[in-house]
Amino acid sequence: MIRLLDEFRCHFAMLRKHTIGLTRIFHTDHLRRSGSQMDTALISKSSSGSMDSYSRRQTSSLALPHQPSRPPRHDQYEISGLTSFYLVVLGGCSSFVIPELCSNYITCILITLAINAILCVSLNLINGYMGEFSVGHAAFMAIGAYGSAIITVKILPLIPFSLSSFLTFPLMVVAGGLLAALVGIPLALLSFKTRGDYLAIITLAFLMIVKSALENISYVGGPRGFLGIPPLTTLPWVYFWAVVTFWIMRHFIHSKWGRSIIAIREDEIAAEAMGVSTRSAKMMTFVISSFFAGIAGGLFAHQIQFINPSSFDILRSTNILVMVYLGGVASLSGSLVGAGVFTILYQILQPLGVWRMVTMPLLLVLLMIFRPRGIMGYQEWSCFKLKE
């Protein structure tokens, strides 16, 4: 297990290194740079009188023609706000239609895809945006799953009058999410003092604690698992939750709190020196991330109707990590792409049987060699960005 973790650390380090290398290649253009410096010397002349002498010194050595600076990248995927709204509505409509038209198998895959997307984006918040390395994400999912399952199976029948599941289901899922968020708080407290490899080990230990705790509570079935959960997760519901998750994440990432956790990733001391309270930012990140993992867990429990502790082991965490690094770190679009590619490949490779377990890691190795930051790493489709 430790070796597995170590392998991921290696990939992660490589990924960081390559990203920096790539940005250098893309952006270091000496001719353009010197041209623009000249340009700025002229600007400084107009902006402040005291710098006149410097401007004159610089302008005397003008040799290069004016070059406009490079515009921000990722303009190649331009989708307007209205178009993305229509896309969301279209997706909503098709989520009602698809279960009627397509086979159960297709619907099931789409539901899994949406749950995976929620998991992936919530882990991306910690691993991609904040730059920590959490391998305990399955634990939050487990708590969300068990929490909402307990409410559905054990608590709801105690209420004398019956409520329609349409009303109660979102509340149960949210309750699972809140429970997971509550459990995320101690992990956030631990992240104040430790980071990097050490925090990764702590999250791993956390996952083991949660798993063995669930195995030893007979109220939730112990190692046998929790049976008889009604199949409440439908395609429209998971679609709704996925849209809500991505919508909230988008607004969070493009707010001052989102920028502050990105600053923590880049340099924690500098972030603190820029007035970012790193403690509250970390707390917020862990709580939000574990909340959405809990939501995904609740949806998962009501999809497959049976949960047991061993379905939330290190392998589950690993799958989420694969999705994050496949899709691309620090990218919402990447999370969607990662979850999509992973879920569909997982199904396509079914005929390979045992060999599937070889193909997936092989794919990851190739990805790390040829595109180390993932498919969409540090990039974003315009529909996931906010206009100024």
Partner 1 sequence: MDFTPEKQSPILEVSLLNKNFGGMRTIIDLSFELAPKECLGIIGPNGAGKTTLFNLLSGIIRPSSGKILWFHQEIQKKSSSEIVHLGIARTFQNIRLFKQLSVLENIRIAYDIHLTYTPLQALLRTALTREEEKKSAQAAMELLDVFSITSLAHQPAGSLSYGDQRRLEIARALALHPRLLLLDEPAAGMNESEMYQLVELLQWIQKKFHVSMLLIEHHMAFINGLCDRTLVLDFGTLIAQGTLEEIRHDRRVIEAYLGEAVT
Tokens coding 330: 């620090």
Please classify residue 265 by burial: count the beta carbons closer than 10 Å to its beta carbon, then call 0-12 exposed, 13-18 middle and 19+ buried.
Answer: middle
Which of 17, 154 has the CB closer to partner 1? 17
CB 118, CB 345: distance < 8 Å: no
- H helices within the chain, ranges in order? 2-27, 30-47, 52-59, 81-101, 104-124, 137-150, 165-193, 197-215, 235-253, 256-266, 268-273, 278-304, 314-327, 332-348, 356-370
Least distance CB 81 / partner 1 (angstroms): 11
Least distance CB 64 / partner 1 (angstroms): 13
Which of 215, 268 has the CB closer to partner 1? 268
The binding site for partner 1 (CB under 8 A) comprises 19-20, 23-24, 27-28, 33, 36-37, 39-41, 43-44, 47-48, 50-51, 53-54, 57, 68-72, 248, 251-252, 254-257, 259-260, 262-263, 266-267, 269-278, 378, 386, 388
Tokens coding 341: 């590619």
Least distance CB 34 / partner 1 (angstroms): 10
Least distance CB 153 / partner 1 (angstroms): 32
Which of 29, 313 has the CB closer to partner 1? 29
- What SS3 state is found at 328? coil
Q: Which amino acid is at 155?
A: I
Closest CA to 9 of 127, 95, 138, 94: 127
Least distance CB 1 / partner 1 (angstroms): 31
Tokens coding 310: 């061993």
| Cβ neighbours of 221 (radius 10 Å) | 19
Which of 50, 104 has the CB closer to partner 1? 50
Which of 68, 351 has the CB closer to partner 1? 68
Least distance CB 193 / partner 1 (angstroms): 14
Annotate 10-44 with b (16+ C-beta within 10 A) or e (fewer): ebbeebeebbeeeeeeeeeeeeeeebbebeebeee
Which of 302, 373 has the CB closer to partner 1? 373
Least distance CB 47 / partner 1 (angstroms): 6
Which of 173, 330 has the CB closer to partner 1? 330
